[in-house]
Amino acid sequence: MFESAELGHTIDKVTYGALVPKLREDLLNAQFDLSQQSSFPVILLIDGVDGAGKGETVNLLNAWMDPRHIEVHAMGEKSDEERERPPMWRFWRALPPKGKIGIFFGSWYTAPIVQRVMGKTKAADLNQSIDEINRFEKMLTYEGALIIKFWFHLSQEAQRKRLKGLEKDPKTRWRVTELVWERLKLYSKFRKISEQALRATSTAEAPWIVIEGTDPRYRSVSVGKILLEAMRQRLDHPVTAILSNVPPLQAPLDRLNVFNKLDMSQKIVKNTFDSELEKYQGKLNLLTRDERFHNMSVIALFEGSDAAGKGGAIRRITNALDARHYHIIAVAAPTEEERAQPYLWRFWRHIPRIGRVTIFDRSWYGRVLVERVEKLCSETDWLRAYGEINDFEEQLVKNNTVLVKFWLTITKDEQLRRFREREKTDFKRFKITEEDWRNRKKWNAYETAVCDMIDRTSTEQAPWTLVEANNKNFARIKILKTLCQQIEFHMKKKS
């Protein structure tokens, strides 16, 4: 895969001087058009061997274009904050919005490749990382991103010569560390593992472009021209929506579903509720003050029918917690900032640190519920969301997060009763809107969407808990009890 990048490609000084002025002008124009259209982001990955010119290329692109619209991220060692989240959290936070160029100097490829070369992981781990990366990049392209991946290559002899030259120059000596020389000794292994990773991740959506790094002029012009052509192609020929060609999801012929089998008559009387509430709130408080809790985090996610009692259930949880250690995320329509990013970005940014609890009042499931029913996204978008959500939740669980998902359900008659009660109660009138009444008319469509959601996202690592919520006392105790059980189970499993 690297043979063509070891041929000694060069561009003479005269040719370089003639090409660069027009290339810079065209790049600036393309960047201006990108900013004006703001219809997609450009994600530029700069990877490759040490000494092949990665840093110089990043600096050059900043000089050739307007750096105000370029976001450069040098992904070095993880901070304490980053180590407490899933590995991809740091990259999600750094994704450029539509209309911007994001340059990743070191990317999501770096750790899997280096760890495999150093013997810290097995071949199966690298293959799993490759699969996850392919799904991640495919999702980004579906969300509209233009991904350009450059791998800067040098032969072993050319790398050694380049490093010696950098070491002799007082201005660049600092860049050649002992680690760099140690990695040169592992050149053959790095080449083998890198080639395996590049070959498996050079996809139709995001192919790799290998650039020989020996001659700076050749390297610079090659990168500039490829970047320009890719941006210009997308700007002048916008990507049309991808149409779904899969068969539609079908409801069971007998109309039997997970909600038909629930016992909605379950109740807890007030005296029993008071004692059970005290018991489980006390238990939740003790669990979150346990030493073992400081090595984990909790995400409690609430979805449900309108007026099913999500807010009341959340208050019973927070009453048992230290206010300094929890955060409630009330999810509404996305902001302008959020619409400029991939769908899951606004949820990744709220993942808690260890020892913390985050409660989502509505969540990422809006894509397969309200956005599906109200046709706020395409069929392709919500169909692919099931797999993307499962990937997201798997990463959370692998990172020692207790993810507890609650769906609160009430009958149609009980919802009507609560709607009317809210209209009559002064301090509850704000809870009932025209949108609630409009959603009620789509009861069957929402029920179908919820059943599909549960079937496709109630996984072994992140199952749904269905809460019979016609009786608020019963629902609140079931939620508290389930949350305590899940935290306790996780603690015992990790101890």
- Neighbour count for residue 107 (Cβ, 10 Å): 19
**Can you tell me the distance from the alpha carbon of 174 to that of 169, in angstroms, rounded to the nearest whole number?**
9
Helix, strand or coil for residue 441? coil
**Can you tell me the distance from the alpha carbon of 273 to that of 251, in angstroms, rounded to the nearest whole number?**
37
**Can you tell me the distance from the alpha carbon of 484 to that of 402, in angstroms, rounded to the nearest whole number?**
11
- Neighbour count for residue 181 (Cβ, 10 Å): 13
Query: pTM here?
Result: 0.92
Q: Which amino acid is at 293?
A: F
Please compute Rg for the chain using Cα positions: 27
Helix, strand or coil for residue 48? strand
**Can you tell me the distance from the alpha carbon of 271 to that of 396, in angstroms, rounded to the nearest whole number?**
38
The pLDDT tens digits along the chain (495 residues) read: 788 888 899 999 999 999 999 999 999 999 999 999 999 999 999 999 988 999 999 999 999 999 999 999 998 889 999 999 999 999 999 999 999 999 999 899 999 999 999 999 999 999 999 999 999 999 999 999 999 999 999 999 999 998 999 889 998 888 888 888 988 899 999 999 999 999 999 999 999 999 999 999 999 999 999 999 999 999 999 877 665 566 666 667 667 888 888 999 999 999 999 999 999 999 999 999 999 999 999 999 999 999 999 999 999 999 999 999 999 999 999 999 999 999 999 999 999 999 999 999 999 999 999 999 999 999 999 999 999 999 999 999 999 999 999 999 999 999 999 999 888 887 777 777 888 888 899 999 999 999 999 999 999 999 999 999 999 999 999 999 999 999 999 999 877
| DSSP for residue 437 | H
- Neighbour count for residue 343 (Cβ, 10 Å): 22
Structural domains in the chain? 3-236 (3.40.50.300), 270-494 (3.40.50.300)
Contacts (Cβ under 8 Å, ≥6 apart) of 424: none
- Residue-wise pLDDT for 62-95, tens only, equals 999 999 999 999 988 899 999 999 999 999 999 9
Contacts (Cβ under 8 Å, ≥6 apart) of 141: 147, 205, 206
Helix, strand or coil for residue 211? strand
Instruction: Report the candidate in 329, 381, 364, 395 with the shortest Cα–Cα distance to residue 90.
Output: 395
